[in-house]
């Protein structure tokens, strides 16, 4: 497993560019299977999750060309076959092959990873949506076989506005006869990104980004062309780093509306920044006020920024409370944060207390999950001395060119095998 070695307390300045969003790209690639001609996806992030998806798609006989940051995907000769377990269990987002292959072939066989370190993360809402469209779901341990003679559009109400389920049902609905309406849909920007790709292929979709999405099923889709949106979680992570160590650090290629909840919270706690167009310039705040964070569905405070902002709040002058309402087990990073000198305490299974400011000291720590790893990375950047993060591959899943980007703005960081 790779290790991340960080020498802390270096001021960070200069410019850094945000990459394409992992959580859009991992849905856009499987969605390209719907078009029977060559599609193009621009601004694809350089992260390991994409490599896994490409491996699965090439196994299904997609022809994929790389051209700068674009992928040219020819799905004209796709062969639908069971997706091997060793590939599909590498990442959760392999579940998007369910909606895409069900739409095009009315059949998909795939193994699916169970929960992970932030929670059980079932896919019952996805499966219920497929059944509502007329599919039959057979589950044998973690092997899923989903088939349908035909899919008929209908009104589907999501028990929870799940991002993955909204996208997966939207993909399946493309292969359904008639109109599907998704009520209580998720409103995250990733949904709008995927819908724009499908609309470009000729699918009629109304309401993406709202709680109610209407999809008109359509066969023989044209090629699609789409730009992956900037990654709002990578943006938020670098903004938080800037608030702790920046000296006019300029972060380029953000979409302000996608990080609004974080920006408003940072203003509340005394962090100053300047936004011009798609760039934000931010410097270290020497007087961070404590606050109450409550993670919510979009446009509320993103759960994926809960662990990164926890590290920031270890430097606030007083007691902060963090409430995690999306996942049941997303505080594991605090074990190692406390090992570095933070003063955090889990009050209930979804409430965390953080008392600051506490100077952090570098030591050996372990990344339990992607955003927990990001929180330890930020801790290492502000800690006195050297921090070694084990299992840092999980961080590289969601942060492209991490070593290059951080080094270019003055961090002392390296990745070793
Ligand atoms: C997406 O996961 C993101 N991943 C997550 O980002 C993100 O945290 C999450 O949305 C919420 O914004 C990708 O897009 C690949 P959900 P997803 O379905 O779709 C429960 C990261 O760090 N649920 O909205 O899996 C679920 O257990 C990752 O980049 C069900 O109960 O999220 C969770 O508690 C982490 N049944 C909650 O809903 C279901 O069928 C939110 O899940 C589906 C979800």
Q: State the Cα torsion 121-125-126-131 to the nearest 10°.
A: 140
Q: Above 90 in pLDDT, residue 222?
A: no
Bridging pattern class, strands 318-323 and 343-348: unpaired
Cα(24) to centroid of ligand 1, in Å?
13
Q: Above 70 in pLDDT, residue 148?
A: yes
Residue ID of nearest Cα to ligand 1 atom 21: 304
Residue ID of nearest Cα to ligand 1 atom 44: 162
Cα(301) to centroid of ligand 1, in Å?
14
Mutate to test the pocket of ligand 1, among 121, 122, 333 (most ligand atoms within 8 A of CB): 121
Average per-residue pLDDT for the chain: 96
Q: Above 90 in pLDDT, residue 106?
A: yes
Residue 160 CA: nearest ligand 1 atom is 38
CA atoms within 13 A on the CB side of 337: 35
Q: Above 90 in pLDDT, residue 113?
A: no
Q: Mean pLDDT across the stretch 246-264?
A: 98
Whole-angstrom distance, CA of residue 298 vs CA of residue 155: 22
Residue 298 CA: nearest ligand 1 atom is 12
Q: Above 70 in pLDDT, residue 68?
A: yes
Q: Among positive and negative, which fits the CA dihedral 61, 67, 69, 70?
A: negative
When comparing pLDDT for 368 and 115, which is higher?
A: 368
Q: Mean pLDDT across the stretch 85-97?
A: 89
Residue ID of nearest Cα to ligand 1 atom 34: 327
Q: Which residues contact 348 (CB under 8 A, 6 or more apart)?
A: none
pLDDT at position 118 is 85
pLDDT at position 114 is 63
The secondary structure of residue 116, as a DSSP letter, is B
Pocket of ligand 1 (CB under 6 A): 22-23, 26, 92-93, 119-126, 160, 162-165, 186, 188, 190, 233, 303-304, 326-327, 370-371, 398
Cα(163) to centroid of ligand 1, in Å?
6
Q: What is the pLDDT of residues 313-333, one digit of tens each?
A: 999 999 999 999 999 999 999
Residue 124 CA: nearest ligand 1 atom is 40
Q: Above 90 in pLDDT, residue 417?
A: no
Residue 359 Cα distances to 137, 282, 322, 355, angstroms? 52, 22, 20, 11
Q: Mean pLDDT across the stretch 38-44?
A: 98
Q: Which residues contact 349 (CB under 8 A, 6 or more apart)?
A: 328, 329
Residue 328 CA: nearest ligand 1 atom is 34
CB 46 within 8 A of CB 401: yes
pLDDT at position 262 is 98
Q: What is the pLDDT of residues 165-208, one digit of tens each?
A: 999 999 999 999 999 999 999 999 999 999 999 999 999 999 99
Closest CA to 107 of 78, 142, 140, 137: 137
Residue 121 CA: nearest ligand 1 atom is 27
pLDDT at position 119 is 85
Q: Mean pLDDT across the stretch 370-398?
A: 97
pLDDT at position 115 is 63
pLDDT tier at 141 (50, 70, 90 boundaries)? confident
- As a whole number of Å, the CA-based R_g of the chain is 21
Cβ-in-10-Å burial (0-12, 13-18, 19+) of 276 comes to exposed
Q: Mean pLDDT across the stretch 283-305?
A: 98
Could you count the other beta carbons within 10 Å of the beta carbon of residue 409? 22
pTM: 0.97
Active-site residue (options: 62, 116, 285, 392):
116
Residue ID of nearest Cα to ligand 1 atom 16: 162
Q: Above 90 in pLDDT, residue 117?
A: no
- Helix (H) or strand (E) run with residue 269 in it: none
Concerning whether 285 is annotated as a catalytic residue, the answer is no
Q: Mean pLDDT across the stretch 279-293?
A: 98
């Amino acid at each position: 497993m790779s290790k991340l070695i960080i020498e802390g307390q270096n001021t960070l300045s200069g410019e850094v560019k945000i990459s394409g969003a992992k959580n859009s790209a991992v849905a856009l690639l499987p969605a390209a299977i719907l078009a029977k001609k060559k599609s193009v996806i621009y601004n694809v992030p350089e992260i390991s999750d994409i490599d896994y998806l490409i491996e699965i798609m090439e196994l299904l006989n997609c022809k994929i060309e790389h051209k700068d940051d674009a992928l040219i995907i020819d799905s004209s000769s796709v062969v639908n076959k069971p997706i091997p377990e060793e590939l599909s269990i590498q990442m959760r987002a392999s579940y998007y092959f369910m909606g895409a292959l069900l739409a095009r072939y009315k059949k998909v066989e795939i193994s699916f990873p169970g929960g992970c370190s932030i929670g059980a993360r079932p896919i019952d809402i996805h499966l219920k949506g497929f059944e509502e469209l007329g599919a039959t779901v057979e589950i044998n341990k973690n092997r899923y076989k989903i088939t349908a003679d035909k899919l008929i559009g209908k009104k589907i109400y999501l028990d929870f506005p799940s991002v993955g389920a909204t996208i997966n049902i939207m993909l399946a609905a493309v292969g359904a006869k008639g109109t599907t309406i998704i009520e209580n849909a998720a409103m995250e920007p990733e949904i709008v990104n995927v819908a724009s790709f499908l609309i470009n292929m000729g699918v009629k979709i109304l309401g993406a980004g709202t709680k109610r999405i209407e999809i008109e099923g359509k066969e023989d889709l044209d090629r699609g062309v789409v730009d992956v949106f900037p990654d709002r979680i990578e943006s938020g992570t670098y903004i938080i780093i800037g608030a702790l160590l920046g000296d006019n650090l300029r972060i380029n290629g953000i979409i302000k509306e996608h990080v609004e909840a974080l920006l408003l919270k940072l203003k509340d706690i005394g962090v100053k920044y300047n936004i011009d167009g798609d760039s934000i310039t931010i410097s270290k705040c020497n007087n961070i006020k404590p606050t109450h964070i409550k993670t919510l569905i979009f446009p509320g405070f993103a759960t994926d920024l809960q662990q990164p902002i926890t590290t920031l709040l270890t430097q606030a002058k007083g007691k902060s409370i963090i409430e995690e309402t999306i996942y049941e087990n997303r505080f594991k990073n605090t074990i190692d944060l406390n090992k570095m000198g933070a003063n955090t305490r889990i009050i209930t299974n979804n409430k965390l207390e953080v008392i600051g400011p506490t100077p952090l000291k570098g030591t050996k720590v372990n990344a339990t999950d992607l955003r927990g790893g990001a929180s330890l990375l930020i801790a290492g950047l502000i800690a006195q001395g050297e921090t070694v993060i084990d299992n840092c591959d999980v961080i590289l899943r969601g942060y492209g060119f991490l070593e290059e980007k951080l080094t270019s703005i003055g961090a002392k960081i390296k990745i070793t095998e």
